[in-house]
C-alpha cells in the first residue's frame, strides 16, 4: 500500500496537485471506533489555515485512499482534479474511494435577480466532518449543496486495492495491453509477492473463467455490487451469455436505509452455503461472486468489523479453507473447491473493474 500511495502521490503532483500524506490512526483513547470524517476534516482544515497564514488560497480539496485509482490513467486523474466551483468529482458517487471538491468562488445571479453564492469549502468540510466513511463522502457533499460528477463510467476508476486478491488482479493487469504501465517499484513488488504457503500471487481460476468468457455456448454467473457500466461492457466484450445478480450497490454509504439485505445471503441462511454453491453451479459454467455482500447481510451490518475476520476473508478469496473458522464461510469455500464449475470470490473491485481485467485477459493473444 505504501508503494501504491507513493506512486499516486507522484502522479497527482505531476498534474499540479499539492499532496499531503495523512497519518492513519486507530480507535480513540476512549475506545471509540475510527471516524473518517473527523480525521479527514481536521487535516483538511489545518491545510486551509496553513495556506491562509502563508497568504495563499486553496480552491479545491480532495482525498484518495492509499490503494485507490491504481489503474486510472492520467487523463482520468485530470478529470478527478478538475471540479468546477460548487462541484464534487468522485470515482464512485455511491461508494467513493477518491474525490475532489471545489468551493464556489464567486456569486451567481439567481432567477429572481439576487446574488447567490454557492457552497464554500468550509461548508464542505463541516459536512464531511460528520461523514463516517470516505465511501459516503460524495453523497454527504451533495446534501451540502454541491453538484456531483461521477467518473464511474471511466474504465479503471473503481479499481481499489484492499485485499491480496486485488493485488493479484493488479498483477494480472501488468500482462495486459488495456491498462497503464505501473511504476517499476510497484511492478517489482507484485512479481516478488507471495501468498501464505509460498504460493504465487495469481488470480484463482482465471484461465477456466477466460475459457467460459470466450465460448458463446456457455454462461458466466456474476453476483454482487456490479456497476451498470460493467454489465454494458460484458454485453459487448464477452462471447458467453451472462447471468447477473446485482445486490447492495453502495451499501457502505447507505447507512440510513437499514442493514444490508441479500437474496444470496438468505439462501445461505435457509438452505446452507453448500446448497448456494450447487445452485449457482447449475445456473452457469463459471461463477464470480462478491462475497462481502453475503457477509454484510448475514452480519446485519455494512461494517467489516462485524464480518468474518480479515484473514478469513482473504483466505476465502483464494478458496483456502484452512484458516477459516466461520462455519458458513468454510462450508462455502469447501463446496466451491469441490465444484466442477470454477468459482472466484472477492469484493467490490473484483465485480467492477476486476471483471474488465478478466475480460481483457480472456482475449489476450486471441
On whether residue 195 sits in a domain, the answer given is no
Is the alpha carbon torsion for 36, 42, 45, 47 positive or negative?
A: negative
Please identify, among 150, 165, 190, the residue that sits at the C-terminal boundary of a domain.
150
The whole domain housing 297 covers: 205-362
Q: What is the pLDDT of residues 156-174, one digit of tens each?
A: 999 999 999 999 999 999 9
Which of 2-6, 30-34, 195-199, 305-309 has the lowest average pLDDT? 30-34
Same domain, 132 and 218: no
Same domain, 133 and 23: yes
Q: Which residue would you say has higher pLDDT here, 111 or 263?
A: 263
pTM of structure: 0.91
Q: What is the pLDDT of residue 55?
A: 82
Q: What is the pLDDT of residues 220-229, one digit of tens each?
A: 999 999 999 9
Structural contact between residues 225 and 248, judged by C-beta atoms closer than 8 angstroms: yes
Same domain, 350 and 218: yes
Same domain, 140 and 54: yes
Please identify, among 122, 150, 178, the residue that sits at the C-terminal boundary of a domain.
150
On whether residue 65 sits in a domain, the answer given is yes
Q: What is the pLDDT of residues 307-338, one digit of tens each?
A: 999 999 999 999 999 999 999 999 999 999 99
Give the chain's domain count. 2
Identify the band that residue 56 occupies on the pLDDT scale cut at 50, 70 and 90.
confident
Structural contact between residues 116 and 109, judged by C-beta atoms closer than 8 angstroms: yes
**pLDDT above 60 (res 112):** no
Closest-CA residue to 245 (of 224, 268, 218):
224
Identify the band that residue 109 occupies on the pLDDT scale cut at 50, 70 and 90.
very low
Same domain, 134 and 53: yes
Structural contact between residues 48 and 57, judged by C-beta atoms closer than 8 angstroms: no
On whether residue 155 sits in a domain, the answer given is no
Structural contact between residues 347 and 291, judged by C-beta atoms closer than 8 angstroms: yes
Same domain, 123 and 226: no
C-alpha span between 183 and 44 (Å, rounded):
28
Q: What is the mean pLDDT of residues 121-135?
A: 93
Q: Report residue 276 as a C-alpha cell.
A: 448456494
Same domain, 129 and 218: no
Same domain, 123 and 216: no
Query: What is the residue-averaged pLDDT of the chain?
Result: 91
Same domain, 130 and 27: yes
On whether residue 259 sits in a domain, the answer given is yes
C-alpha span between 222 and 237 (Å, rounded):
15
Phi (first) and psi of residue 236, to 5 degrees: -100, -25
Q: What is the mean pLDDT of residues 111-136?
A: 81
Q: What is the pLDDT of residue 253?
A: 56
On whether residue 242 sits in a domain, the answer given is yes
Q: What is the pLDDT of residue 203?
A: 98
Amino acid at each position: 500500500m505504501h508503494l501504491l500511495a507513493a506512486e499516486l502521490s507522484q502522479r497527482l503532483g505531476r498534474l499540479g496537485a499539492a499532496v499531503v500524506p495523512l497519518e492513519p490512526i486507530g480507535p480513540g483513547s476512549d475506545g471509540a471506533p475510527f471516524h473518517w470524517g473527523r480525521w479527514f476534516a481536521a487535516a483538511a482544515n489545518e491545510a486551509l489555515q496553513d495556506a491562509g497564514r502563508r497568504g495563499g488560497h486553496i480552491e479545491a480539496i480532495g482525498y484518495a485512499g492509499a490503494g485507490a485509482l491504481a489503474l486510472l490513467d492520467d487523463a482520468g486523474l485530470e478529470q478527478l482534479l478538475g471540479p468546477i466551483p460548487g462541484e464534487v468529482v468522485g470515482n464512485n458517487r455511491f461508494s467513493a474511494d477518491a474525490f475532489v471538491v471545489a468551493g464556489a468562488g464567486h456569486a451567481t445571479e439567481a432567477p429572481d435577480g439576487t446574488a447567490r453564492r454557492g457552497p464554500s469549502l468550509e461548508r464542505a468540510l463541516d459536512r464531511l466532518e460528520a461523514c463516517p466513511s470516505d465511501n459516503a463522502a460524495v453523497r454527504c457533499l451533495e446534501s451540502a449543496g454541491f453538484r456531483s460528477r461521477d467518473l464511474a463510467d471511466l474504465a479503471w476508476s473503481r479499481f481499489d486495492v484492499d485485499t491480496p486478491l486485488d493485488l493479484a488482479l493488479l498483477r494480472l493487469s501488468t500482462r495486459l495491453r488495456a491498462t497503464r504501465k505501473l511504476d517499476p517499484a510497484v511492478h517489482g513488488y507484485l512479481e516478488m509477492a507471495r501468498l501464505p504457503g509460498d504460493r504465487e500471487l495469481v488470480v484463482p481460476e482465471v484461465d477456466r473463467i477466460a475459457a467460459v468468457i470466450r465460448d458463446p455456448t456457455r454462461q458466466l454467473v456474476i453476483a454482487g455490487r456490479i456497476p451498470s457500466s460493467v454489465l454494458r461492457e460484458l454485453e459487448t466484450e464477452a462471447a458467453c451469455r451472462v447471468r447477473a445478480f446485482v445486490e447492495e450497490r453502495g451499501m457502505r454509504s447507505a447507512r440510513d436505509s437499514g442493514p444490508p439485505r441479500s437474496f444470496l445471503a438468505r439462501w445461505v441462511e435457509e438452505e446452507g452455503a453448500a446448497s448456494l454453491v450447487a445452485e449457482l453451479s447449475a445456473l452457469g459454467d463459471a461463477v464470480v461472486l462478491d462475497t462481502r455482500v453475503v457477509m454484510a447481510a448475514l452480519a446485519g451490518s455494512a461494517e467489516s468489523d462485524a464480518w468474518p475476520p480479515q484473514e478469513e476473508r482473504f483466505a476465502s478469496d483464494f478458496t483456502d479453507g484452512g484458516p477459516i473458522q466461520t462455519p458458513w464461510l468454510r462450508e462455502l469455500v469447501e463446496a466451491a473447491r469441490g465444484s466442477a464449475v470454477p468459482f472466484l470470490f472477492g469484493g467490490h473491485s473484483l465485480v467492477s473493474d476486476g471483471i474488465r481485467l478478466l475480460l481483457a485477459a480472456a482475449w489476450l493473444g486471441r
